[in-house]
Amino acid sequence: MNTNKNMCVIGLGYIGLPTSAMFAKSGWSVTGVDVNPLAVEKLNKGEIHIEEIGLKELVENEVEAGRLRAQLEPTEADCFIIAVPTPHNEDNSADLNYVIEATKSMLPFLKEGNTVIIESTIPPRTINDVIAPILKEARWKPGKDIYLAHCPERVLPGRILIELVENTRIIGGINEVSAQKAADVYRSFVKGSILVTSAVSAEMSKLMENTYRDVNIALANELVKISEKLDVNALEVIQLANHHPRVNLHQPGPGVGGHCLAVDPYFIIEKAPEQSILISHSRKINNSMPEFVVSQVKKLLPDIDSKIAVFGLTYKGNIDDVRESPAMNILSLLQTEGYKLGIYDPHVQQDQVNFYISTFEDALQNAECILVLTDHNEFKQLDEESILNKMKNPVVFDTKNCVVINSSDIIYFGFGNLDKIKALQKA
**6-198 and 289-426 share one fold:** yes
Buried b / exposed e across 119-134, counting CB within 10 Å, b at 16+? bbbbbbebbbebbbee
Cα–Cα distance between 404 and 402 in angstroms, integer? 7
How far is the CA of 97 from the CAs of 85, 362, 398, in angstroms? Answer: 9, 42, 39
Reported pTM: 0.88
Q: Give the pLDDT score at 239.
A: 97
pLDDT of residue 265: 95
CATH ID of 289-426, from 3.40.190.100, 3.40.50.1220, 3.40.50.720, 3.30.110.30: 3.40.50.720
Closest CA to 231 of 417, 70, 16, 61: 417
Supply the pLDDT for residue 427.
61
pLDDT for position 180 = 98
State residue 51's pLDDT score: 84
In this structure, what is the dihedral angle of CA atoms 193, 158, 351, 336, given to the nearest 10 degrees?
100
422 φ, ψ to 5°?
-60, -40
Give the containing element (helix H, strand E) for 237: helix 234-241
Topology of 6-198 in CATH?
Rossmann fold (3.40.50)
- pLDDT for residue 187: 96
Per domain, the residue ranges of the chain are 6-198, 207-284, 289-426
Q: What is the pLDDT of residue 1?
A: 44
What one-character-per-residue DSSP string does 319-371 give?
A: S---TT-HHHHHHHHHHHHT-EEEEE-TT--GGGSSSPPPPHHHHHTT-SEEE
CA distance 188 to 46: 22
What's the rounded Cα separation, in Å, for the pair 243 and 246?
8
- Look up the CATH superfamily of 207-284: N-(1-d-carboxylethyl)-l-norvaline Dehydrogenase; domain 2 (1.10.1040.10)
Q: Which of 25, 181, 206, 316 is catalytic?
A: 206
Q: What per-residue confidence (pLDDT) applies to 157? A: 83
Residue 406: how many other CB atoms lie within 10 Å: 9
Q: Which of 201, 206, 211, 183 is nearest to 125 (CA)?
A: 201
Concerning whether 260 is annotated as a catalytic residue, the answer is yes
Catalytic pick from 8, 79, 151, 260?
260
What is the chain's pLDDT, residue by residue, as a tens digit (427 residues)?
A: 445 599 999 999 999 999 999 999 999 999 999 999 999 999 999 999 988 999 999 999 999 999 999 999 999 999 999 999 998 898 999 999 999 999 999 999 999 999 999 999 999 999 999 999 999 999 999 999 999 999 998 888 889 999 999 999 999 999 999 999 999 999 999 999 999 999 999 999 999 999 999 999 999 999 999 999 999 999 999 999 999 999 999 999 999 998 888 999 999 999 999 999 999 999 999 999 999 999 999 999 999 899 999 999 999 999 888 989 999 999 999 999 999 999 999 999 888 888 899 999 999 999 999 999 999 999 999 999 999 999 998 999 999 999 999 999 999 999 999 999 888 776 6
Give the pLDDT score at 2. Answer: 44
